[in-house]
């Protein structure tokens, strides 16, 4: 099963501006953005046979990896990745999660990118966007399937002082699919914030939680005016499915006003 996820992006040329309501960054309808050159943000999760990461740690690490890429100085202004980051965000937003182990992982680490390590030791390397049909050889041959991961123990309650990416409890997504969706949710949060809020979040190390929502709370979350990811439906789930709702801190902590300004 593929872990490719697609959405539409922010306003053209403003790789950080929140989109207008009529140009939602996550929708399944065909738009003019489908006519633009298409790019993919590659993420590679390290999954060693003897010591695979916990699922929740991998999801949170993937979300942080997307934020680290968006905030990196090479992605901004005249940075070396800035042009391709703008091109990526001016077309459909695509993220593809692949897995690597051993020598595959070591080769991936030699390619231009950033490795992010989770609190539980999960490792995800994020790379600048590549053309949809122009993957580097060492990434193209990595497997998309086989990203099924488990939590050895139930994850603790989400930190009420940091944003939470709530996953749809009714969708059975592979870990790779959920990692890409969590990345989408984190990106939506980033687009919502002011420069000062982004700086605060970045300097704090991008604290966040990824949790499966309580079924009774899911529908109210989707109607609360918060950032919502709706899948394009290319893989695993039906087009238009709501996969992630991004909620700011609930106790006056970091980004407590997210989605409510």
pLDDT band at residue 239 under the 50/70/90 scheme: low
pLDDT band at residue 248 under the 50/70/90 scheme: confident
pTM for the structure as a whole: 0.87
Whether the pLDDT of residue 170 is over 50: the answer is: yes
Whether the pLDDT of residue 20 is over 80: the answer is: no
Asked if 249 and 163 count as a contact pair (C-beta separation under 8 A), the reply is yes
Work out the average pLDDT over 203-216.
Answer: 96
Whether the pLDDT of residue 204 is over 50: the answer is: yes
Q: What pLDDT does 37 receive?
A: 74
Q: What pLDDT does 144 receive?
A: 83
Whether the pLDDT of residue 238 is over 50: the answer is: yes
Q: What is the mean pLDDT of the chain?
A: 84
pLDDT tens track for 84-142: 999 998 878 889 999 999 999 999 999 999 999 999 999 999 999 999 888 999 999 99
Q: 168-206 burial, b if ≥16 CB within 10 A, otherwise e?
A: beebebbbbbbbbbbbbbbbbbbbbbeeebbeebeeeeb
- The residue among 76 and 92 whose pLDDT is bigger is 76
60 sits in the region (left: phi over 0; alpha: psi -120 to 50; else beta) called alpha
């Amino acid at each position: 099963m593929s872990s490719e996820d697609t959405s539409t992006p922010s306003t053209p040329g403003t790789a950080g501006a929140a989109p207008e309501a009529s140009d939602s960054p996550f929708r399944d309808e065909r738009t003019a953005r489908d006519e633009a050159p298409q790019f993919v943000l590659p993420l590679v999760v390290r999954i060693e046979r003897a010591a695979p990461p916990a699922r929740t740690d991998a999801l949170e690490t993937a979300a942080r990896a997307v934020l680290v890429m968006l905030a990196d100085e090479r992605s901004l202004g005249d940075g070396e990745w800035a042009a391709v980051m703008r091109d990526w965000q001016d077309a459909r937003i695509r993220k593809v999660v692949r897995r690597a182990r051993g020598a595959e992982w070591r080769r991936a680490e030699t390619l231009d990118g950033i490795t992010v390590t989770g609190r539980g030791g999960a490792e995800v390397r994020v790379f600048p966007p590549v053309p949809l049909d122009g993957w580097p050889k060492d990434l193209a041959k990595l497997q998309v399937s086989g990203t099924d991961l488990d939590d050895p123990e139930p994850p603790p309650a989400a930190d009420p002082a940091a944003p939470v990416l709530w996953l749809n409890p009714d969708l059975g997504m592979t870990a790779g699919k959920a990692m890409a969706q969590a990345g989408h949710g984190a990106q939506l949060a980033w687009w919502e914030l002011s420069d000062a809020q982004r700086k605060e979040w970045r300097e704090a190390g991008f604290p966040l939680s990824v949790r499966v929502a309580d079924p009774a709370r899911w529908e109210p979350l989707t109607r609360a005016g918060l950032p919502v990811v709706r899948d394009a439906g290319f893989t695993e789930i039906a087009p238009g499915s709501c996969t992630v709702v991004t909620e700011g801190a609930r106790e006056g902590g970091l980004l407590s006003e997210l989605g409510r300004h």
